[in-house]
Amino acid sequence: MSEMEQKPDETAVAEMSAESVETAETAAQEMAAAERPRSGRGLAWFAVLLALGTLGGGYSLWQEVDKQRAATLHDNQVLHSRLEQLTTQQQEMAARLAQYSGVLEQLQNDTRLLNDALEKMNERLGRDRHAWVLAEADYLLQMANRRLLLERDVAGAIAAMTAADQRLAFLNDPLLTRVRAQLSEELQALRALPVLDVDGITLELGALSKGVDNLVLAGTPREEQDTTAAAEQPDGWRGLVQTVWSDIRSLVVIRRHDAGSLPLTTPDQRLLLRQNLRLKLETARLSLLRGHGQAYRAALQEADAWVERFYDAASPATVGMREALGRLAAVDIAPPLPAIDQSLHTLREISARLERSARS
């Protein structure tokens, strides 16, 4: 509260105190006139007491007014502080609104640019729904040819051609009937191709690579122990003769080498043979994944020739290995692929005809 606001309160208190004194003096004079016969000293004391009481009441009233003034001053200070905070918050909100307005204006400009770009694209494509759908079908047919010729991905080519046929069916244009008929024929030719289990063949080649360690080299001596026959040997001199004969047989080792086979005596030679055989199987696996049928078949045939030349033909592991290699080599991993580009050429001819008619 300002000084101008405080002064009127003090003046009011002073005026109220003066009025109280005048009232007390008037009352004392009236009482003195009414009781003149009494002693003048008693009247004086009464007047003094009355004046003191009036002054005490005025002082109490002044204290109460001062308290109210202090409370009002405190409330004014609180309101002033709150007003400053609200002013600061209003300024911050105004700054944020200005920033958001700039961002909104930038977004509106970007949206305007995008709309202009879309309009130009629509103008370039003739603003024709047929142009959009025909362009999508053309792209799908290109992708189908690329997947079939470069990656031999029959399933991917079928999916792309099916999607292109759905786009053409959406237009429901009689001019596209010939294209859809060619698409149906090409899809039927792709679906007639044999399904190749690439994952199964890959897993089987991996199992054969692990089974190389179980092969028995040709010419390796094998100990023949027949515990059952030893337990059933007859007693007496016949048993003695049979035991001597068995000991003599154990001293003689017969090694057979097939024609053209080379004995592998050192561990390094045997390790090198196993690693080369695994390398042939890995070459067959990579050729399978890349769709190279000739390289796949040649790698398996070379692996079978090595197994036949260097390993024991009577061993069950060798027999199983050669059977698996022959069966896998007989699989045609790269059958002849049908041509699926006729529908694409026809679609492009019809698209060019429609574009010329739209320009004219």
Stretch among 62-76, 110-124, 179-193, 340-354 having the lowest mean pLDDT = 110-124
Looking at the fold, whether 213 and 315 belong to one and the same domain comes out as yes
What mean pLDDT comes out for the span 131-147?
Answer: 90
pLDDT band of 226, cuts 50, 70, 90? very low
pLDDT at position 42: 61
**Counted domains in the chain:** 3
**Residue at 119 is within a domain:** no
pLDDT at position 251: 44
Residue 13 has pLDDT above 50, yes or no: no
Answer with the residue of higher pLDDT: 295 or 260.
295
pLDDT at position 301: 93
What is the pTM (predicted TM-score) of this model? 0.45
**Residue at 187 is within a domain:** yes
Looking at the fold, whether 84 and 172 belong to one and the same domain comes out as no
Looking at the fold, whether 170 and 210 belong to one and the same domain comes out as no
Q: Model confidence over 29-50: pLDDT tens digits? A: 655 555 554 455 666 676 667 7
pLDDT band of 250, cuts 50, 70, 90? very low
User: Whole domain around residue 347: which residue ranges?
Assistant: 129-193+339-359
Q: Give the chain's end-to-end CA distance (angstroms, integer).
A: 88
Q: How far is CA 42 from CA 34, 37, 115, 162, in A?
A: 13, 11, 108, 130
Distance between CA atoms of residues 146 and 102, nearest Å: 49
**Residue at 305 is within a domain:** yes
- CA Rg, the chain, in Å? 58
Query: Which residue, 68, 103, 138, sits at the end of a domain?
Result: 103
